[in-house]
Structure 1
Amino acid sequence: MNIVVTGGAGFLGSRVITELLAAADAGKLPHPLTKVISLDLAACPIQDPRVVSLTGDLADSALLRQAVDADTAGIYHLAAVLSGGSAEDFDLSHRVNVEATHRLLEAARAIDSRPTFVFTSSLAVFGGAMPEVVPGNLATQPESTYGAFKAMGELLVNEYSRKGWVDARIARLPTISVRPGKPNSAASSFASGIIREPLQGIPAVCPVPPDTRMWLSSPNTAVANLVHAYLVPAAELPAWRVLDIPGVSVTVGEMLHALETVGGAEARALVSEVPDESIMEIVCSWPGVFDIERTLALGFAPDNSFESAVRQFHAEFIA
């Protein structure tokens, strides 16, 4: 049986593929794994004979039919235009974040085998007046194009699951920090940049106030939770398939304190505060604390602390 991963050439997608292969080798998947099909604009960097790269656009129906067939047991839909890019290009965001999601669901529906469908959503679906701790049943009220389209995606995926065409797991991910590499188009990209760059001796800018509270996950923990989403038995999931993935709640000031603890005062001194209204408008509308009792009971887990996430990045990419 096969698993399709859209965005499989990207930072998160390639790590998910690596962990899926490891889970298959350990006998943890509910089915044998013949291959993982990466569907992206670029080839997947994972060197494994079981990984097949299909390069192209999700708007290509023939490419979707090639990727999703009778042997497809699961689909990870990770490909997306991120928050900053969505704010800049509404039409592109709609094409990728809404229309491509619908086409992928239709491809899954056409094979008539109810594949497991893991959809990555975001805490950007929330906005407006919120309680201090967001419960699992709070209605979404996005205040960004990205959040609005992710909320639409959640409804689409859940409806296809309700109809019995896919077995959905909608994973609302925390903001990922610390991401290696270069800044991306997410409005929250600074959450990695204010840690990653100073640890490499590079100046960074913090565009939001230090009391801004964020809901964060390290890359390794986010990937582990995404793979776990595939493994949770359907019988344990409610009809509404949205899962608030566990994170750690920290203020930006506390993030900078963790930076100083790990990297020293010289690293902290490289971060300057330069408010950016366009970023604050998006990021400061997001919740910073979730009630995760239900997802913890299902076996999902957060990082021990944000400092542990910083140390993880430092050990892997700096030390």
Structure 2
Amino acid sequence: MQITILGGGGFLGRKFAERLAAQGHLGGAPVTGLVLFDLAAPKPLAAPFPVTCLGGDVASLADVSAAIPPGTGLVVHLAAVVSAAAEADFDLGMRVNLHGTLAVIEACRKLDTPPRLLFTSSVASFGGGQSALLPDDARQVPTNSYGAQKAAAELLLQDASRKGFLDAVSIRLPTVIVRPGRPNKAASSFFSAILREPLLGLKTPLPVEDAFRVWVCSPRRAVDWLFHAAVMDTAPLGVDRGINPPGLAVSVGEMLAALSTAERALVKREPDPAIAAIVGGWPAEFAATRARALGFAPQEGVPEILAAFRADDLEATRADRGL
């Protein structure tokens, strides 16, 4: 199977690629080649199959078509401008998050056989805020530009699936913690930072109250969901290609309780109304009944999330940060 990862230079794209390289197959089908595509060409990856690393513009049909060669059976579409950045720069968010998805659809239409396409959507495509526990049939009513762009892209992919251009599964990822590396421009970046930075011995601001609740998942579980979606039977999805995976509803205070006393002392309460306004509109919890019935594994607790970060990413993050 030939596979393409758009956004292959990001941390989830890299983790997906590394797992592919380690196992050499997907659902029992040997991987025959992998394309990693991002704004700048991703770092090379050692694998038992050919790996091509390309840089380009996800909103350019020519660039995306080059990244999705004939014979591609799976496209993992992770490329995105994150939440706060999309809110600050509307044109950039529209170009990457919406027009980029249109380019991906057009590139897939050129293939002789429609590929499976995995799209990472977001809980930001919903509203509801702290009081919400959303059922699977909840309407997507985003309260930010990023969420609106993700919801629009989902509808386009859903229709492209109906038309037979591709076979999409849109996974509305919870906030992913703990992200390795450095803080980014996502409004939700602080949810990782309040765990990651103290583990590195660094101070970090907390822009919301300790009682603030958030729907989260670990990088490990996010990759698990992508692998499951890559090989699942999509017939039971029907026209509705959106999945609310079974994340974990947790408060900031419960997250901090998993740290030591000395680590918690490094988290400084610094209210930020702009950040709070963005994340405050996101739902705090989803029922995720459909996803469980479709075989998506539930997220484990915060101690397990921290243990996974320590095992998988802490030392690499320490080295990357020069600590």
- 1:305 corresponds in structure 2 to 301
Does the 8 Å CA contact 1:85/1:186 hold for their aligned counterparts?
A: yes
Deviation at 1:128, TM superposition (A): 4.3
1: CA distance, partners of 2:185 / 2:13: 16
Does the 8 Å CA contact 1:5/1:78 hold for their aligned counterparts?
A: yes
1: CA distance, partners of 2:161 / 2:82: 25
Deviation at 1:181, TM superposition (A): 0.6
Deviation at 1:180, TM superposition (A): 1.1
Deviates more, 1:109-118 or 1:187-196: 109-118
The answer as to 2:275 corresponding to 1:276 is no
Classify 1:128/1:235 alpha carbon distance in 2 versus 1 (closer, same or farther; 3 Å): closer
- 2:8 corresponds in structure 1 to 8
2: CA distance, partners of 1:316 / 1:165: 37
CA deviation map 1:65-90 (0-9, x unaligned):
22223311111110000001101110
Does the 8 Å CA contact 1:130/1:287 hold for their aligned counterparts?
A: yes
2: CA distance, partners of 1:317 / 1:133: 31
Counterpart of 2:83, as a letter, is S
| Equivalent runs, 1:150-165 vs 2, <5 Å | 150-165=150-165
- 1:189 corresponds in structure 2 to 189
User: Alignment partner of 1:37: what SS?
Assistant: strand
- 2:310 corresponds in structure 1 to 314
1: CA distance, partners of 2:33 / 2:172: 26
1: CA distance, partners of 2:311 / 2:70: 42
- 1:21 corresponds in structure 2 to 21
2: CA distance, partners of 1:133 / 1:305: 18
Structure 1 residue ranges, 4+ long, deviating more than 6 angstroms after superposition: none
2: CA distance, partners of 1:238 / 1:130: 31
Does the 8 Å CA contact 2:58/2:64 hold for their aligned counterparts?
A: yes
Does the 8 Å CA contact 1:24/1:32 hold for their aligned counterparts?
A: yes
Counterpart of 2:34, as a letter, is V
Identity %: 43
Give the unaligned 5+ runs of structure 2: 316-323
Deviation at 1:62, TM superposition (A): 2.4
- 1:64 corresponds in structure 2 to 64
Does the 8 Å CA contact 1:194/1:271 hold for their aligned counterparts?
A: yes
Counterpart of 2:10, as a letter, is G
| Equivalent runs, 1:127-206 vs 2, <5 Å | 127-128=127-128, 132-206=132-206
1: CA distance, partners of 2:177 / 2:88: 23
Deviates more, 1:125-134 or 1:202-211: 125-134
Deviation at 1:249, TM superposition (A): 0.7
2: CA distance, partners of 1:154 / 1:316: 31
The answer as to 2:230 corresponding to 1:234 is no
2: CA distance, partners of 1:162 / 1:297: 22
Deviation at 1:317, TM superposition (A): 4.1
2: CA distance, partners of 1:146 / 1:226: 21
User: Alignment partner of 1:249: what SS?
Assistant: strand
- 1:114 corresponds in structure 2 to 114
User: Alignment partner of 1:111: what SS?
Assistant: coil
- 1:33 corresponds in structure 2 to 31
User: Alignment partner of 1:180: what SS?
Assistant: coil
Does the 8 Å CA contact 1:40/1:54 hold for their aligned counterparts?
A: yes
Counterpart of 2:41, as a letter, is A
User: Alignment partner of 1:245: what SS?
Assistant: coil
Deviates more, 1:231-240 or 1:200-209: 231-240
- 1:124 corresponds in structure 2 to 124
Counterpart of 1:265, as a letter, is T
The answer as to 2:285 corresponding to 1:286 is no
- 2:211 corresponds in structure 1 to 211
1: CA distance, partners of 2:232 / 2:130: 29
2: CA distance, partners of 1:121 / 1:167: 15
Does the 8 Å CA contact 1:80/1:97 hold for their aligned counterparts?
A: yes
User: Alignment partner of 2:296: what SS?
Assistant: coil
2: CA distance, partners of 1:251 / 1:60: 40
Q: TM-score, normalised by structure 1?
A: 0.93
Deviation at 1:36, TM superposition (A): 1.0
Does the 8 Å CA contact 1:212/1:252 hold for their aligned counterparts?
A: yes
- 1:96 corresponds in structure 2 to 96
RMSD: 1.7
2: CA distance, partners of 1:197 / 1:187: 16
User: Alignment partner of 2:263: what SS?
Assistant: helix
2: CA distance, partners of 1:282 / 1:233: 35
Deviation at 1:132, TM superposition (A): 3.3
Counterpart of 1:85, as a letter, is A
